[in-house]
Amino acid sequence: MLYSNKTMKRWISGLGGLFIHVSILADTPHNILFILADDLGWNDLGCMGSNFYETPNIDNLAANGIKFTNAYSTCQVSSPSRASIMTGKYTPRHGITDWIGEKSGEEWRKMKRYSKLLPADYLRNLPSNEYTVAECLRDNGYVTFFAGKWHLGEEGSWPENHGFMINKGGWSAGGPRGGYFSPYDNPMLEDGPDGENLSKRLAMETVSFMRDHMNLNPDKPFLAFLSFYAVHGPIQTTQENWSYFRNKADSLGIGEQGFKIDRTLPVRQCQDNPVYAGLIKQMDDAVGVVWNEVKRLGLDKNTLIIFTSDNGGVTSGDSYSTSLLPLRGGKGHQWEGGIRVPLLMYYPDGKAGTVCDKPVIGTDFYPTILDFAGLSMYPEQHKDGISIFPVLDGTSNAKRSLFWHYPHYGNQGGEPSSIIRKDDWKLIYYYEDGRCELYNLAMDISESEVLNSRFPDKVEELEKQLMEWLNEVEAKKPIIDSCYDFEKEIAVKDFWHTTMLRTQEKNRKDMLSKSWKPNENWWGSSASVD
């Protein structure tokens, strides 16, 4: 039964004793709008502390809803965390532990990284026996819509195979194959006029769905899942956006050095990339299109909106786009920069401007959505998640630990590892040598001081709990490569620490020069004809 005969009411406590009253009429459809950014970092938004990137529309959504400061993805790369959103399960349970397409096992040697371990194998398609949140909502009367990046398998494992009735742009590719301006080279999205912006197009597809739905099925609830390809590389923007943010970087002061080595690859130390800033602006403009239409259609009175990212921002590797300081690392890394993400929630009658510092994770979205919809839970499916609403109002007394498992090498310099966070304590276990790193995030959000020697009992406690969890979920582990060559690995890392560092410093300076130009038509954006 989709709705009860009584008015749904919930008291949700905010900070400082504030209370949020959610009151939704029982005969009103409880709609869901899920907006997922790709590779957007924890502080890549104005509302999360950036003074370089400009995100007025997303900031407005935050001002009208709840901002979470301790929100996490379930993995430091995309496919695993996306699968967790769909299933409510940690990555070892659904089997996708790396981005789909990356090599594993002996195939890893073809990458010529000469690393000590062979990464564990993983599933290349979202299993058909997983009962996704989209399937659950569809089976309970929802009309389900998907637009944008999918990256959860080959044909046969696309959105329409996992509960979405309409699919605009979701297929195998993990990035914008044709770039951010039409033509898109996407078999599930018709090209627009040359130079049309991809983020804006996906927003308009979502808006068109909502308009049509309100005309055709106003009494039925919907799930609209807007999954931007932005801000995944290759990063692209218009000449106008680049010029604006280049000048802004200049006015803020361009530092002489923009990168430093953190164990493996060079890591960006400042938010001053004008192309990335422009790409963020394009996504923010698109969010504004959708958010404004939600209000125009009156859907803000009965819709839960969730905005988040699939993993941390790219501070090294890929396009070396951003800096997440004071967080350490970024996408692909085991540190906070790789797994801590922005999260905003809006729902009817919510207390505007609430901030929540309680830890939540990507497995929590499935039960949260069911809770809002007034549907029964499926605890055997979303077994690793809990509804966020009791977390907010303090009625959830679960002192749970959070877990991560990434038995792979990240393109961005991350190392095969597993992680546990319990309260403010975080322990990282490394598979190359079995060592642990203990941090206290309340005292040291930058993970700069390893506390093993000061708190050996805590190391023992958390490592034991982590190992028990890994056994419970039957996590696959990397293995020693019998062909490992220490000298070759050292040569690769020396290249990263010298030539790669110089290359990235040069690229940064070139992109900030007044005469910089990527090509003749700015990635096709100047081909647009109004």
Does residue 231 have a cis peptide bond before it, meaning omega lies within 30 degrees of 0?
A: yes
Structure tokens at 418: 């597993």
* pLDDT value of residue 398: 65
Question: Is the confidence at residue 530, as pLDDT, over 70?
Answer: no
Structure tokens at 56: 């007025």
Condensed to tens digits (0 to 9), the pLDDT of residues 91-118 reads 999 999 999 999 999 999 999 999 999 9
Where would I find the H helices in 321-423? Answer: 336-339, 365-373, 388-393
Across the range 303-329, mean pLDDT stands at 97
* pLDDT value of residue 395: 75
Distance separating alpha carbons of residues 26 and 7, to the nearest angstrom: 5
Across the range 214-218, mean pLDDT stands at 94
Across the range 418-438, mean pLDDT stands at 98
List, as one string, the DSSP characters of 363-420.
GGHHHHHHHHHTPPP-TTTSTT---HHHHHHT------EEEEEE-S--TTS--SEEEE
Condensed to tens digits (0 to 9), the pLDDT of residues 432-488 reads 999 999 999 999 999 999 999 999 999 999 999 999 999 999 999 999 999 999 999
SS3 state of residue 138: helix
Residue closest to 279 by CA, chosen among 318, 305, 251: 318
SS3 state of residue 70: coil
Distance separating alpha carbons of residues 291 and 297, to the nearest angstrom: 10
Q: At what angle do helices 78-87 and 365-373 cross, to 10 degrees?
A: 30
Distance separating alpha carbons of residues 425 and 459, to the nearest angstrom: 9
* pTM assigned to the model: 0.94
What type of residue is 217?
Answer: N
Distance separating alpha carbons of residues 239 and 524, to the nearest angstrom: 11
Higher pLDDT, 20 or 144: 144
* pLDDT value of residue 10: 38
Distance separating alpha carbons of residues 202 and 183, to the nearest angstrom: 14
Condensed to tens digits (0 to 9), the pLDDT of residues 156-199 reads 999 999 999 999 999 999 999 999 999 999 999 999 999 999 99
Across the range 367-394, mean pLDDT stands at 94
